[in-house]
Structure 1
Amino acid sequence: METKEPEAGGPMSVGLPSGKQRRRLTLTGVPGPVAKGRDFTRRTLRDWGWDRTETSEDTLLLVSELLTNATLHADGCHELVLTADETALHIEVHDGTTTPPLRHSAPQRGIPGGRGLYIVERLSDRWGTHTYGTGKAVWAEIEASRLKNGTAAER
């Protein structure tokens, strides 16, 4: 497992994102990628001061869903990338297939599965995919204003 911050090339910054900040977690061949991705996201949100909102909990669920989908349906998770600026948190999960994700139009009650992309759609402000070479990235964005407004009780 490797973490990188290629934009800055130096140590990871702490505090609210000013300009653009990026953190990357390589997950190829790593056991337990969903748990590792959640922990990485939790630490990043804490470092950026975005960890004390209801939306930060939604963000962890969103990351879990994206990583789980890549693990189960797309040849595994290759990388998790979190990019933030003053306007939004952008989450990307890179996987090993160019096949686009399929959102079930109506998941069936009482039958597990089929809800992951519905959850991604409901929790994010925007989401989508882009393909490259032999893989793709499924991405989601959350408006920064939802993450930096203190606790849900303070809103």
Structure 2
Amino acid sequence: MSVVLPSQGQTRRLRLYGTEGVVGRCRDFSREALTDWQWIPAADEEGQAVVEDVLLLVSEVVTNACLHAHGPQELTLHCSVDRLRIEVTDDSPLPPRPRPLAAAVPGGHGLIVLDRLARSWGSVPRGRGKTVWVEVAAPLRVQGARQG
């Protein structure tokens, strides 16, 4: 059975409050959406790698909002035929920026993960805060099922 998304795609939103357990809630929400959109179960190793990348990217962006912006306000997932866009909105107007890395200091690798795993990413002002967005290409099986 293939999923037929509307031509404009489908969007899911999760309102968030506080930081306790928020990363797990966002991963669970994302996993459920990916299952509904039939990214899970993956048909092959490539598809499984994309799913794992998406869940890691969600964790990284939400964690950054917890560490640098008093927690996220909303997680938005927008799935279209060829891509998934992940958005995390928070209260801080400061855009993400790389920190100098020190070998002996943990952390500071989140933006490197985004650079390596995402097709593209960035941030845009939203109200008094911002939205950090990340885009990932859909697995080929998912793209083919929706186009055929």
TM-score (norm 1): 0.80
Structure 1 or 2: more helix by fraction: 2
TM-score (norm 2): 0.83
Tell me whether 17-26 or 140-149 shows the greater mean CA deviation: 140-149
Whether contact under 8 Å (1:66, 1:116) holds in the other structure is: yes
C-alpha RMSD of matched pairs (Å): 2.1
Tell me whether 59-68 or 109-118 shows the greater mean CA deviation: 109-118
Say yes or no: does 1:15 pair with 2:15. no
How far residue 18 of structure 1 moved from its aligned partner, in angstroms, is: 3.8
Which residues in structure 2 correspond to 1:29-44 (within 5 Å)?
Answer: 29=18, 31-44=20-33
Please point out which of 59, 79, 96 is paired with 2:74.
Answer: 79
Paired residue secondary structure (1:148): helix
Paired residue secondary structure (1:91): strand
Whether contact under 8 Å (1:16, 1:49) holds in the other structure is: no
Q: 1:100: which partner in 2? A: 95
Whether contact under 8 Å (1:71, 1:77) holds in the other structure is: yes
Letter in 2 for 1:86: V
Say yes or no: does 1:112 pair with 2:101. no
Structure 2 residues not aligned, in runs of 5+: 43-47, 144-148
Aligned length: 136
Please point out which of 30, 45, 48 is paired with 2:37.
Answer: 48
Q: Percent identity?
A: 42
Structure 1 residues not aligned, in runs of 5+: 1-13, 150-155
